[in-house]
């Protein structure tokens, strides 16, 4: 072995970051962005959101087009019906989907995370509600730093009510993939659904 040593260059930043943590006192105020990719992201987000909410509404051969019916132990995906003994086929489909995601990520970067991931889409929807109710990033900053007023409380309550309402609608849409949608809505609004739905 050689006795030579490799010199190590210290690259520690000399300037300390302005915000060391994000918490109740250090909020992040997202600013509205514009541009070609932001429009593309918005249109793709709308497309996938409409698809998410609309797919359970479609009927196919007398049943819901996409239904993961756990109680009857069958999965309907349009004309394809998968039973428990066909789980190898479902596992194969999931593996192909995972490899497709890895392939797209390897060659195109974070396309899934930035444009099509449900978390990204729903985050932008919640930010949209916040922006429409409380205003731009600077207005939200001033609102949060200002004293408690009737207007501030009204905006905060309205924002959280909008968030909660959209969350309930999203939860119902998600449950509609596991429970027949029309039964789900009737039982939910007549307060006859099972405790797992609520």
- pLDDT digits 0-9 by tens, 124-178: 899 999 999 999 988 998 998 889 999 999 999 999 999 999 999 999 999 899 8
pLDDT at 85 over 80: yes
Answer yes or no: is 73 within a domain: yes
State the average pLDDT over residues 86-96: 85
Whole-angstrom Cα distance, residue 190 to residue 183?
11
Contacts of 131 (CB under 8 A, 6+ apart): 32
Answer yes or no: is 24 within a domain: no
pLDDT tier, 197 (very low <50, low <70, confident <90, very high otherwise): low
pLDDT tier, 11 (very low <50, low <70, confident <90, very high otherwise): confident
Whole-angstrom Cα distance, residue 59 to residue 3?
74
From 58, 81, 59, select the one nearest 68 (Cα to Cα).
Answer: 81
Answer yes or no: is 3 within a domain: no
Q: What is the pLDDT of residue 165?
A: 95
pLDDT at 198 over 70: no
pLDDT at 26 over 80: no
Whole-angstrom Cα distance, residue 182 to residue 185?
5
Domain region containing 68: 36-189
Q: What is the pLDDT of residue 69?
A: 85
Answer yes or no: is 5 within a domain: no
Answer yes or no: is 198 within a domain: no
Give the global pTM: 0.74
Answer yes or no: is 67 within a domain: yes
Q: What is the pLDDT of residue 20?
A: 64
- Lowest mean pLDDT of 13-17, 46-50, 123-127, 193-197, name the range: 193-197
| 26 token code pair | 């250090």
Answer yes or no: is 181 within a domain: yes
From 179, 169, 189, 188, select the one nearest 49 (Cα to Cα).
Answer: 169
| 142 token code pair | 């001033």
Whole-angstrom Cα distance, residue 163 to residue 129?
7
Whole-angstrom Cα distance, residue 3 to residue 6?
10
Mean pLDDT, the chain, integer? 85
Q: Which residue is listed with tokens 């999203």?
A: 170
The total domain count for the chain is 1
Answer yes or no: is 4 within a domain: no
pLDDT at 19 over 70: no
């Amino acid at each position: 072995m050689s006795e030579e040593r490799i010199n190590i260059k210290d690259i520690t930043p000399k300037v300390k970051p302005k915000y060391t943590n994000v918490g109740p006192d250090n909020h992040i105020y997202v600013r509205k962005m514009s541009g070609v990719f932001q429009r593309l992201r918005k249109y793709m987000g709308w497309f996938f959101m409409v698809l998410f909410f609309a797919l359970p509404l479609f009927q196919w051969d007398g049943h819901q087009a996409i239904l993961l019916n756990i109680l009857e132990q069958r999965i309907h995906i349009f004309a394809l019906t998968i039973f428990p003994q066909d789980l190898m086929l479902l596992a194969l489909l999931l593996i192909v989907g995972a490899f497709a995601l890895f392939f797209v990520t390897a060659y195109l970067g974070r396309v899934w995370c930035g444009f099509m991931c449900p978390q990204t889409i729903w985050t932008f929807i919640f930010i949209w509600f916040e922006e429409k109710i409380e205003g731009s990033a600077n207005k939200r900053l001033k609102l949060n730093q200002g004293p408690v007023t009737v207007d501030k409380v009204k905006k905060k309550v309205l924002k959280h009510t909008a968030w909660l309402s959209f969350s309930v609608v999203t939860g119902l849409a998600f449950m509609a993939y596991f429970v027949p949608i029309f039964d789900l809505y009737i039982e939910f609004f007549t307060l006859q659904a099972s405790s797992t739905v609520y």
